[in-house]
Amino acid sequence: MKRTAPSALDSSPCSSLEMTELQSSGMSLRFQIEARDGTARAGRFFTPHGEVQTPVFMPIGTLATVKGVPQDTLEELGVQILLNNTYHLYLRPGVETVRRLGGVHKFMAWDHPILTDSGGFQVFSLSDLRKVTEVGVAFRSHLDGSSHFFSPESAIAAEIGLGADIIMAFDECTEHPAEYARTRDSMEMTLRWARRSKDHFEAHQEETPWFAERGEAQTLFGIVQGGAFADLRRESAQRTVEIDFPGYAIGGLSVGEPRPMTYEMMDAAIRFLPEDKPRYLMGVGTPEEIIHYVAAGVDMMDCVLPTRAARHGLLFTSEGRLTIKNARFAGDEGPLDPNCRCKVCARYSRAYLRHLYASNELLAQTLNTIHNLAHYIDTMRRVRQAIIVGGFAKFLSGVRPPHLSVP
Ligand SMILES: [Zn+2]
């Protein structure tokens, strides 16, 4: 599998202004679409820990921290919702520890929305350390080699114990490449696991650490799989929708397939997901790509790229990417990005940022991460605004599409 080891993971131009308020069936999550521009939508959803304006980019906080950035800075940046990784928190500090401390919001002092993955992606990344059966997945910890087991029931129990606002069904993330028959079998198992995830969640949702205090439950999203086959993507979407979730994710992408294929598989699935529920594309993408995914109707995205790239000195700017360690910045008094309004660009020079990075100073990681997150969040803010004022098609025309770019 071409996938990063878990130890390295952090984990048509028509515009209308309409207000449709849609109550999701059964489970809580109110999703409101405010504006459409072609297939792109701007909206908002409401969680027990606050509102999220969409389209939204969710930074990765693997171990209940966005590496190197304090929570107050995330608030200043306008981060609306964070992603935490269940696999990592399950191993350390442990679900029971977090549950006893009131859940992950209190634990990490973040009184805003949080989403957890189910642990499926990370467990499936442990290709040499896992064994998959219909019941679930036996795996060994990447930390100490100890034996563990995740089933749809135990993964959902872990997510309930951690207490994020939005939690994900336990799925099998099919490897790439995979044969058609193997991909179909995997998709069928993910559908059975989706049903089991939902059953367990419905029986235990009131066990969330803050349920009594907030009087609201978490929200469980289903996940579409289907590998690199458009017909399986479509079938997976249709049958996941039949199970009925308040939101849907498209998973199993960005696992080593070429970029145009990522776009094609997203496109094959998204047209079969309901209009009135949030759509979450997992694990993408570059600043240019996320704009095109919004154009296709995606509402939520997460990616390690801005934070991980920042720690390796790769910075996204309005003028393209730059590698801060480059010697040409050694005497550069200018800001990282003259068009960025983040506090790093307001205060520090490229020369200083290069010095910090070259000297392996801790502050380099913090400042680089703040800027990259600001770039992503500002991009989404501008995209949202463009959809609302009906100018998204023009906005999009200046951005290179991922399905036409060189893989
Ligand atoms: Zn900046």
Residue 165 Cα to ligand 1 midpoint, Å, equals 29
Among 183, 138, 166, 204, which residue's Cα sits nearest to residue 24? 166
Encode 118-140: b = buried (16+ Cβ within 10 Å), e = exposed.
Answer: bbbbbbbbbeebeeeeeebbbbe
Catalytic residue among 10, 117, 299, 337: 117
Is 231 among the catalytic positions? no
Encode 259-273: b = buried (16+ Cβ within 10 Å), e = exposed.
Answer: bebbbbbbbbbbebb
At 127 the pLDDT is 77
Residue 368 Cα to ligand 1 midpoint, Å, equals 8
Q: 85 in the Ramachandran plot: left (φ > 0), alpha (ψ -120 to 50) or beta?
A: beta
- Tens digits of residue pLDDT in 163-184: 999 999 999 999 999 999 999 9
At 123 the pLDDT is 87
Residue 385 Cα to ligand 1 midpoint, Å, equals 20
Beta bridge partner(s), residue 147: 140
With 80 as the cut, is the pLDDT of residue 13 above it?
no
Q: pTM for the full model?
A: 0.93
Residue 392 Cα to ligand 1 midpoint, Å, equals 23
What mean pLDDT comes out for the span 334-348?
98
Confidence category of residue 3, pLDDT binned at 50, 70, 90: very low
- Tens digits of residue pLDDT in 88-137: 999 999 999 999 999 999 999 999 999 999 988 888 888 788 899 999 99
With 50 as the cut, is the pLDDT of residue 23 above it?
no
With 90 as the cut, is the pLDDT of residue 33 above it?
yes
Contact 130, 123 (CB under 8 A): yes
Confidence category of residue 405, pLDDT binned at 50, 70, 90: low
At 184 the pLDDT is 98
DSSP string, 57-96: EE-B-TTSS-TT--HHHHHHHT---EEE-HHHHHHTT-HH
State what percent of residues in the chain have pLDDT above 90. Answer: 87
At 28 the pLDDT is 64
Is 111 among the catalytic positions? no
Residue 124 or 243, more confident: 243
